[in-house]
Amino acid sequence: MNVNKFIEFRLGSVDFRIKQWIRKNAKRIAEDTYGLIFISEAKTKKMSERYIDSIRFAYKNPNITFTVKSYKTKEGKPLWKFFEKGTKKHWIYPRVKKALRWQTGTVSGIGENIGAGDPIYAFSKGHQVRGIKARNVLYWTTKRGGKKFKKMLIRQLQRFLDSTATNFGV
């Protein structure tokens, strides 16, 4: 194979090599950029570890997508949407039991039949809640992560092309 045909062959394969490299590396780069921003935003907004661990990335040519999984109500509604966009004031009530129950604190252990650290519970047959404040974790992740993702993708793609270049520059 002469040099001209070799250069022509290499130039013809650049597009294919770039697409293959992106297919293999885009998800990892998204996890390194969007993922870190998501974790930072979620921790700043005091989201639970379960929420933080639930982010999932997918690459389907030509798009990177990320979703938050495993958060659903009994009716199948995604809870992450309530955290993301917030809710208005609304009434809550027990659907299965006679009352709602939640822990409000722990006992110091001073009484006779009370051990230190025993939980204190509150009960309700229904009450008004102020709603959930919008956290906008995914919004800010998308907004702040886009530039970082593109920058890192281009930088690493350029390194790949430089490392696979021949003496002829292709």
Residue 158 and residue 22: Cα distance in Å, rounded? 11
DSSP conformational letter for 114: -
Note whether 134 and 88 are within 8 A (CB). no
Is beta strand 127-129 parallel, antiparallel or unpaired with respect to 90-92? antiparallel
Note whether 159 and 146 are within 8 A (CB). no
Whether the predicted pLDDT of 70 surpasses 90: no
Model pLDDT for residues 109-145, shown as the tens digit of each residue: 666 666 667 888 999 999 999 988 999 999 999 999 9
Q: Prior bond to 94 cis, omega within 30?
A: no
Whether the predicted pLDDT of 167 surpasses 70: no
Distance of CA 80 to the CA centre of its chain: 10
Of 167 and 34, more confident: 34
Residue 83 and residue 140: Cα distance in Å, rounded? 13
- Taking residues 95-104, what's their average pLDDT? 91
Percent of the chain with pLDDT over 70: 84
Query: Which residues share a beta bridge with 92?
Result: 127
Residue 52 and residue 41: Cα distance in Å, rounded? 9
Report CA Rg, the chain: 26
CA angle 103, 107, 112 (to 5 degrees): 135
